[in-house]
């Protein structure tokens, strides 16, 4: 009861101590407290006193409070159970969350490990691929170098083959050059021998001429009268033989006579040697003046021939110009063709004439040189020479002929072009 009273005084959850009703006690309460044993013995009337009502109320309140406390206790137990359940659920939820987090973390770790493994494998593959690329690059470079070396070797082999061919050709050329040099030396030796023989022949000829002149001088002293008569007869025969120069080479058909004269003047000693020897044996020996007159007559004949041939060439050039003028003036093609044929024949004749004149000029120069040496040997001054012995200064006739031919060809080409254009226009 004391505990209940204490609880009642303390207050409950529904009725705190501030709201608890405190019963009012009279002055008789200490006496009651002092004598508790007497209360049990008291009669029921005492119960119906004022204190009994307060006790009843207190008991009621206590019952209510106990009932409330039980209810609260049951509620508290229920709450505790609920809280424990919730706590267990919360713990389970936390554990589940932690487990899930751990699982997620483990999965992340596994994923990271897998990714790291994949990265490491990819890196290893990359390194392998890089190594393979480097190896392939090296292989390609080696192959290129090998190919370049092979090409260089092929080029070298080709160059070596060319060098071998060139060396062989050079050796062949050197051998041919050596043989040619040997032949040239042999020919030079032959030429030297021929020159030596010619000099010997000339010396012999000069000796024979000097002997003939000496014999002529010796015979001239004894037979002056006979020599004068023969001189007159020889001059007459020479004048008859010489004839006019325009009749010698007046036509183009008289060229063989000129060639014969050239041949006679080229080698007079060879052609007339036996005849002169027989004359020296049979006839009386003439003097030096007769030989001088003969040389002068030969040079006169040569100069007259050259002058006549020059006149003929000038006439041919004049005829050439006239034919060109006729060709320009004429319009008929048949006449032009005939004139062209005549011009071609004229040009050929002019070329032949120029060659003949050049040969005669060379022969005259050689004769003049020979006579100059002879006169120098006999100590005759150059002023005393006959004007016919002096060299004739002709222009280069071959150059003239070449120029005339070129002009003629140019004119022909121009005329042909004009004809073609006129024909096209027609």
The structure tokens listed for 243 are 């004839």
In-domain check, residue 43: no
Distance CA 395, CA 354 (A): 11
Between 370 and 153, residue with greater pLDDT: 153
Lowest mean pLDDT among 189-198, 308-317, 324-333, 371-380: 371-380
Domain boundary among 93, 109, 125: 109
| Confidence bin at 73 (pLDDT 50/70/90) | confident
pLDDT in tens, 251-309: 333 333 333 444 444 444 433 443 343 333 334 444 444 444 555 556 666 777 778 77
Counted domains in the chain: 2
Residue 104 sits in which domain range?
Answer: 2-27+48-109
The structure tokens listed for 55 are 């006790």
In-domain check, residue 166: no
Distance CA 297, CA 292 (A): 9
pTM here? 0.27
In-domain check, residue 193: no
pLDDT at 232: 60
Q: Is the pLDDT of residue 396 over 50?
A: no
DSSP codes of every residue in 242-290 = H--HHHHSSSGGGHHHHHHHHHHHHSHHHHHHHHHHHHHHHSPP--HHH
Domain boundary among 91, 109, 127: 109
Stated as kind and residue range, the H or E segment containing 119 is: helix 50-222
Stated as kind and residue range, the H or E segment containing 199 is: helix 50-222
pLDDT in tens, 199-210: 888 888 777 777
Contact 285, 382 (CB under 8 A): no
In-domain check, residue 293: yes
In-domain check, residue 90: yes
Most confident range (mean pLDDT) of 219-233, 346-360, 402-416 is 346-360
């Amino acid at each position: 009861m004391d505990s209940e009273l204490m609880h009642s005084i303390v207050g409950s959850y529904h009725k705190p101590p501030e709201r608890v009703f405190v019963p009012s006690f009279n002055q008789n309460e200490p006496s009651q407290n002092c004598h508790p044993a007497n209360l049990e013995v008291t009669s029921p009337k005492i119960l119906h006193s004022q204190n009994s009502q307060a006790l009843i109320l207190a008991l009621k309140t206590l019952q209510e409070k106990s009932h409330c406390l039980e209810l609260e206790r049951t509620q508290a137990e229920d709450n505790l159970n609920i809280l424990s359940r919730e706590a267990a659920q919360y713990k389970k939820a936390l554990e589940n969350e932690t487990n899930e987090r751990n699982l997620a973390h483990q999965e992340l770790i596994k994923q990271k490990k897998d990714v790291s493994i994949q990265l490491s494998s990819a890196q290893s593959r990359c390194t392998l691929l890089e190594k393979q690329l480097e190896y392939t690059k090296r292989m390609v470079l080696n192959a290129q170098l090998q190919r370049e070396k092979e090409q260089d070797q092929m080029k070298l082999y080709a160059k070596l083959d060319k060098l071998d061919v060139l060396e062989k050709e050079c050796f062949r050329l050197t051998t041919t050059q050596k043989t040619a040099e040997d032949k040239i030396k042999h020919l030079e030796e032959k030429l030297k021998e021929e020159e030596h023989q010619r000099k010997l022949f000339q010396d012999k000829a000069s000796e024979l001429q000097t002997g003939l002149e000496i014999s002529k001088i010796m015979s001239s002293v004894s037979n002056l009268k006979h020599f004068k008569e023969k001189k007159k007869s020889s001059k007459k025969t020479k004048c008859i033989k010489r004839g006019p120069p325009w009749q010698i080479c007046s036509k183009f058909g008289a060229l063989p006579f000129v060639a014969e004269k050239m041949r006679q003047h080229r080698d007079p000693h060879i052609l007339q040697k036996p005849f002169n020897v027989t004359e020296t044996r049979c006839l009386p020996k003439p003097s030096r003046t007769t030989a001088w007159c003969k040389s002068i007559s030969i040079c006169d004949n040569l100069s007259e021939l050259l002058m006549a041939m020059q006149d003929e060439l000038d006439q041919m050039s004049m005829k050439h110009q006239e034919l060109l003028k006729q060709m320009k003036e004429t319009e008929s093609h048949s006449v032009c063709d005939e004139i062209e044929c005549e011009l071609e024949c004229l040009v050929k004749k002019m070329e032949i004439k120029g060659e003949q004149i050049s040969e005669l000029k060379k022969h005259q120069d050689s004769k003049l040189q020979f006579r100059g040496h002879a006169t120098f040997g006999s100590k005759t001054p150059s002023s005393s020479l006959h004007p016919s012995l002096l060299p004739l200064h002709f222009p280069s006739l071959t150059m003239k002929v070449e120029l005339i031919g070129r002009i003629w060809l140019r004119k022909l080409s121009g005329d042909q072009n004009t004809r073609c254009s006129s024909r096209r226009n027609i």
